[in-house]
């Protein structure tokens, strides 16, 4: 349980995080900033790390996985160019933090993780903060989620050496896909826009993500 006084303090830290870690580094999309002001990150980290919830860093969530640094999540969400009307597929639900943020910026959200335990926990956390919109699934997201395709936007929070063909196929015309691409020791955020069946690629800043493990993920996984 988090007391009223703690909640106030977390709220103060959250507003400061948005100013210092996001706005000061150039994040300017109002939809994204508003989502970060609203979603309490302390609910999505393990109890022993609650006091670190607003630090400028990724945090462990178990099973060798991490909830990404807030700035990187914000950057990826900005690269998705959301208007609030899109149907979005998120791959790598993890703690559900990014799921909660995304759900405030789109119309319909599907999120998939290969670890069933994470999906159950994320569902509970999202319910506990009243975030009921996202549909969560357990499965290999390197293959996308065919039943609800095509998607206006696809965001992947695990890294691969290239964009999985299934994800390319499940992106709608004029859609955008954002994911970290590169070798396991370091990647770049990539934005792929589908235009007349072809992809226009923009590579942005460097990042470091856990591997996308699956049939169309990292070789050998």
Q: Measured between alpha carbons, how far is 221 from 219 in angstroms, rounded to an integer?
A: 6
Nearer to ligand SAH, 33 or 39 (CB): 39
Q: Measured between alpha carbons, how far is 99 from 93 in angstroms, rounded to an integer?
A: 7
Least spacing, CB of residue 109 vs ligand SAH, in Å: 12
Nearer to ligand SAH, 143 or 192 (CB): 143
Q: Which residues bind ligand SAH (CB under 6 A)?
A: 61, 65-68, 91-92, 94-95, 97-98, 112-115, 118, 140-142, 157-158, 210, 212-214, 217
Nearer to ligand SAH, 60 or 195 (CB): 60
Least spacing, CB of residue 218 vs ligand SAH, in Å: 9
Max intra-chain CA distance, the chain: 54
Alpha-carbon torsion, ordered 138, 140, 144, 147, to 10 deg: -50
Least spacing, CB of residue 196 vs ligand SAH, in Å: 29
Q: Measured between alpha carbons, how far is 29 from 78 in angstroms, rounded to an integer?
A: 6
Catalytic annotation, pick one of 28, 68, 83, 184: 68
Least spacing, CB of residue 221 vs ligand SAH, in Å: 8
Q: Is 157 a catalytic residue?
A: no
Nearer to ligand SAH, 126 or 212 (CB): 212
Nearer to ligand SAH, 63 or 195 (CB): 63
Angstrom distances, CA of residue 182 to CA of 93, 177, 210? 21, 15, 11
Name the E strands within the chain: 59-62, 65-67, 87-91, 108-113, 135-138, 151-156, 171-181, 187-195, 198-207
Q: Measured between alpha carbons, how far is 70 from 44 in angstroms, rounded to an integer?
A: 12
Q: Name the nearest CA neighbour of 192 among 160, 148, 214.
A: 160
Angstrom distances, CA of residue 7 to CA of 1, 36, 43, 113, 136? 10, 15, 11, 29, 27
Least spacing, CB of residue 4 vs ligand SAH, in Å: 26
The residues annotated as belonging to the active site are: 68
């Amino acid at each position: 349980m988090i007391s009223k006084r703690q909640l106030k303090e977390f709220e103060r830290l959250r507003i400061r995080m948005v100013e210092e870690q996001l706005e000061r580094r150039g994040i300017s999309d109002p939809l994204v900033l508003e989502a970060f002001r609203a979603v309490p990150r302390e609910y999505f980290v393990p109890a022993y790390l609650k006091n670190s919830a607003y630090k400028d860093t990724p945090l462990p969530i178990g099973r060798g996985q991490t909830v990404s640094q807030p700035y990187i999540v914000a950057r990826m969400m900005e690269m998705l160019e959301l208007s609030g009307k899109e149907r979005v597929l998120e791959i790598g639900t993890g703690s559900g933090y990014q799921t909660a943020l995304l759900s405030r910026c789109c119309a319909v959200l599907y999120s998939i993780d290969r670890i069933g335990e994470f999906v159950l926990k994320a569902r509970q956390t999202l319910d506990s903060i009243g975030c009921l919109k996202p549909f969560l699934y357990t499965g290999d997201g390197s293959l996308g989620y065919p039943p609800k395709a095509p998607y206006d936007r696809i965001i992947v929070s695990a890294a691969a050496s290239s964009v999985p063909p299934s994800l390319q196929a499940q992106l709608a015309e004029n859609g955008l896909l954002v994911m970290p691409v590169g070798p396991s020791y370091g990647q770049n955020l990539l934005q792929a826009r589908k235009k007349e069946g072809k992809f226009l690629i923009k590579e942005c800043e460097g990042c470091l993500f856990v591997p996308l493990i699956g049939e169309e993920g990292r070789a050998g996984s």
